[in-house]
């Protein structure tokens, strides 16, 4: 099956075309035909495509909106110009898999999109007002472009965290606010945490029940998950993706009284204060320089800027603190898994986070850590009792595989194995 994976945002549509089916999944032989991004809807859009052979195409098109842009992309993909032999017509796409940010308490697994499921995603708009409406637009655009008969599947960022128990998802505020406004921890990055935990199982040859892990997704957004018996039992992101670890531009945890204090002292509205915490904080806010860890590390090497150093130190300390909290909460773990742009590529940040965790049984193998950049592998010494691994995430592959499983009617399989065979560079 050729599955088109879509991640629809407010001004961009990310896509990947993945050829996969039951046999390919079992044999780990999925093929990524291309990936790319359509930027800036309305007027002139720019379409960038990374082809299977590593070459890049970039072209502009005059289109009205997301639907017209998708239509244009599909015409190009099906034309001789793309050179993708597997796609000669629209009908060569057999399913569309959508990343959907919020499934609230409604969706515990990936779902074939029916009108009822679409209604459920709409019901969750209140929980993710910036994201779910765009995801819905993506679904409706694909319905228009491919027709209502083409199966579409929603894969939720929140689903993997459905197993988190009440004592970990409730906030200690008046209880009635939970049923009245659905205020609770939902967690995000679920597709990534699930992907790397399943990949860890394959690497280690352990069963789901034997999978006890702390996964650290460290990218522009960052989150940690405590995975016990293969199930998420706690995670650092909360009601929204603002809680938890320090991120590129998001503050992560802070004293809730600070929100009112900033609003009052800086004469900001609540919305403006929230925007400050989401877009001007984290690494960017602390360093005053950049939200990009690569830039900060280069700056630190070159100039040892105090605020840059502090930003990196606060980032790493927060991650370490969550490891400690989750080790206690889950009663010990077999491994820590690093993923995301920073987790996969920065040996220095991994070393800083792991430093001082020898008491917990984690001994970092310096050489393995340095050598494991953008690839998969163990970075702890063999005699560690708490291991550390790097596992590049591949959310799109999981979405494509879930789409296959949902379409072929294996209800449970949306939680089964995945692998990293088709991974390549991020756009
Ligand atoms: P992501 O959101 O997963 O694409 O990750 C983006 C983050 O990964 C940015 O902060 C990048 O600076 C960071 N990143 C990517 N490559 C490296 C690298 N080689 N060293 C440090 N950080 C990196």
Please report the pLDDT score of residue 418 as a whole number. Answer: 42
How much is the pLDDT for 415? 47
CB-ligand 1 contact for 340 (6 Å cutoff):
yes
Of 299, 316, 342, the one to substitute when testing ligand 1's pocket (max ligand atoms within 8 A of C-beta) is 342
Ligand 1 centroid distance, CA of 249 (Å): 13
Q: Does 423 score more than 50 pLDDT?
A: no
Fold of the CATH domain 207-393: Nucleotidyltransferase; domain 5 (3.30.420)
* d(C-alpha 405, C-alpha 92), whole Å: 18
Residue 10 has a pLDDT of 85
CB atoms within 10 A of CB 381: 14
Could you identify the atom of ligand 1 that is nearest to the CA of residue 291? Answer: 10
Ligand 1 mean position, distance from CA 361 (Å): 28
Element housing 289 (H / E): none
Nearest to 354 by CA among 387, 310, 402, 325: 387
Atom of ligand 1 nearest to the CA of 296: 12
Catalytic residues: 157
pLDDT in tens, 228-266: 999 999 999 999 999 999 999 999 999 999 999 999 999
pLDDT at 325 over 80: yes
* pLDDT value, residue 43: 78
Q: Is the CB of 345 under 6 A from ligand 1?
A: yes
From residue 324, alpha-carbon distances to 56, 168, 214, 319, 393 in Å are 43, 16, 10, 9, 23
Pairing of strands 95-100, 152-156: parallel
Work out the percent of the chain whose per-residue pLDDT is above 90: 90
400's tokens: 């494509």
Is it the case that residue 292 has pLDDT exceeding 50? yes
pLDDT at 419 over 50: no
The response to whether residue 219 sits with its C-beta less than 6 Å from ligand 1 reads yes
CA–centroid distance, 360 to ligand 1, in Å, is 27
pLDDT category of residue 2 using cuts at 50, 70 and 90: very high
User: What is the 24 CA–ligand 1 centroid distance (Å)?
Assistant: 30
Which atom of ligand 1 is nearest the CA belonging to 283? 10
Mean pLDDT of 297-319: 96
- CA–centroid distance, 146 to ligand 1, in Å, is 35
Whose CA is closest to atom 9 on ligand 1? Answer: 292
**What totals of helices (H) and strands (E) does the chain contain, helices first?**
16, 14
Residues 5-46: tens digit of each pLDDT = 999 998 899 999 999 999 998 887 899 999 999 998 777 899
Which residues have CB under 8 Å from 70's CB, separation 6+? 6, 13, 38, 141, 142, 145
Interval between CA 11 and ligand 1 midpoint (Å): 22
| Spatial CB neighbours of 359, under 8 Å, sequence gap ≥ 6 | none
- As given in the structure block, the two tokens for residue 410 are 């294996």
338 forms beta bridges with 216, 390
DSSP state of 157: S
The tokens of 237 are what?
Answer: 């992101």
Sign of the CA dihedral running 200, 36, 400, 65: positive
From the CB of 307, is ligand 1 less than 6 Å away?
A: no
Q: Is the pLDDT of residue 424 over 70?
A: no
Please, what is the Cα angle at 281 between 275 and 286, to 5 degrees? Answer: 160
Could you tell me the pTM of the whole model?
0.93
Per-residue pLDDT at 28:
79
Weakest-pLDDT range from 236-240, 266-270, 301-305, 325-329: 301-305
CA angle 140, 146, 149 (to 5 degrees): 90
Q: Is the CB of 82 under 6 A from ligand 1?
A: no
Handedness of CA 223, 224, 226, 230 (dihedral sign): positive
> Does residue 273 have its Cβ closer than 6 Å to ligand 1?
no
* CA–CA separation, 59 and 46 (whole Å): 6
Distances (CA, A) of 178 to 143, 173, 309: 35, 8, 39
Q: CATH class for domain 2-166+408-426?
A: alpha beta
Length of the chain equals 427
Q: What is the mean pLDDT of the chain?
A: 94
Output the pLDDT for position 63: 85
Is the beta carbon of 292 within 6 A of some atom in ligand 1? Answer: yes
Beta-carbon neighbour count of residue 182 at 10 Å?
15
Tell me what the mean pLDDT of segment 384-407 comes to. Answer: 97
- Sheet with 335-339, side-by-side order of all strands: 231-235, 222-228, 213-218, 335-339, 387-390, 377-378
CA distance 49 to 32: 12
Q: Residue 248 Cα, ligand 1 centroid: separation in angstroms?
A: 10
Whether the CB of 282 sits within 6 Å of ligand 1: no
φ, ψ of residue 200 in degrees (nearest 5): -60, -45
Tell me the H-state helices in 85-217: 115-123, 132-146, 166-169, 177-181, 190-204
- Which residues contact residue 227 at a Cβ distance below 8 angstroms, ignoring those fewer than 6 apart? 193, 197, 211, 212, 213, 214, 215, 233
Whether 2-166+408-426 and 207-393 share one fold: the answer is yes
The CB of 342 under 6 Å from ligand 1? The reply is yes
Check pocket membership of 297 for ligand 1, CB cut-off 6 A: yes
**Closest ligand 1 atom to the C-alpha of 295?**
12
Pocket test for ligand 1, best of 249, 286, 294 (most atoms within 8 A of CB): 294
> Predicted confidence band at 410 (pLDDT cuts at 50, 70, 90)?
low
The residue ranges of every structural domain in the chain are 2-166+408-426, 207-393
Pocket of ligand 1 contains residue 151 by CB under 6 Å: no
Residue 293 CB–ligand 1 contact under 6 Å: yes
Please give the pLDDT value at position 427.
Answer: 32
H or E element in which residue 377 lies = strand 377-378
Q: Tally Cβ neighbours within 10 Å of residue 54.
A: 8
290 CA to middle of ligand 1, Å? Answer: 12
Mutate to test the pocket of ligand 1, among 7, 345, 351, 425 (most ligand atoms within 8 A of CB): 345
């Amino acid at each position: 099956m050729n599955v088109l994976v879509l991640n629809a945002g407010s001004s961009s549509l990310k896509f990947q075309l993945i050829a996969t089916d039951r046999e390919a999944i079992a044999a780990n032989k999925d093929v990524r035909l291309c990936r790319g991004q359509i930027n800036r809807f309305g007027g002139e859009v720019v379409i960038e495509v990374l082809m299977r052979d590593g070459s890049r195409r970039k072209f502009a098109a005059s289109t009205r909106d997301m639907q017209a842009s998708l239509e244009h992309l599909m015409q190009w993909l099906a034309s001789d110009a793309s050179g993708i032999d597997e796609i000669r017509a629209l009908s060569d796409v057999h399913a569309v898999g959508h990343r959907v940010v919020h499934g609230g308490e409604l969706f515990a697994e990936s779902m074939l999109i029916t009108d009822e499921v679409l209604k459920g995603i709409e019901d969750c708009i209140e929980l993710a007002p910036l994201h779910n409406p765009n995801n819905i637009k993506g679904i409706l655009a694909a319905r228009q472009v491919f027709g209502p008969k083409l199966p579409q599947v929603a894969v939720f960022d929140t689903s993997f965290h459905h197993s988190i128990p009440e004592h970990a998802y409730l906030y200690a505020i008046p209880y009635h606010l939970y049923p009245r406004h659905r205020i609770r921890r939902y967690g995000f990055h679920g597709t990534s945490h699930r992907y790397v935990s399943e990949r860890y199982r394959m690497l280690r040859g352990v069963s789901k029940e034997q999978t006890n892990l702390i996964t650290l997704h460290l990218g522009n957004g960052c989150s940690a998950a405590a995975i016990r018996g293969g199930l998420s039992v706690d995670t650092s992101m909360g009601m929204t993706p603002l809680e938890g670890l320090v991120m590129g531009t998001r503050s992560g945890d802070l004293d809730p009284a600070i929100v009112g204090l900033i609003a009052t002292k800086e004469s900001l509205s609540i919305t403006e204060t929230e925007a400050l915490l989401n877009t001007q904080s984290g690494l960017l806010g602390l360093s005053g320089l950049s939200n990009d860890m690569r830039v900060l590390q280069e700056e630190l090497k070159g100039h040892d800027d105090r605020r840059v150093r502090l930003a990196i130190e606060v980032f790493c300390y927060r991650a370490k603190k969550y490891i400690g909290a989750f080790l206690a909460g889950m009663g010990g773990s077999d491994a820590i898994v690093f993923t995301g742009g920073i987790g996969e590529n920065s040996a220095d940040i991994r070393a800083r986070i792991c430093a001082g965790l020898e008491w917990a049984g984690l001994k970092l193998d310096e050489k393995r850590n340095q050598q494991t950049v953008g690839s998969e592998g163990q970075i702890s010494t063999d005699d560690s009792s708490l291991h550390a691994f790097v596992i590049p995430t591949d959310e799109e592959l999981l979405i494509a595989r879930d789409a296959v499983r949902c379409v072929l009617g294996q209800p449970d399989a949306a939680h089964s194995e995945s692998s990293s065979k088709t991974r390549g560079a991020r756009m």
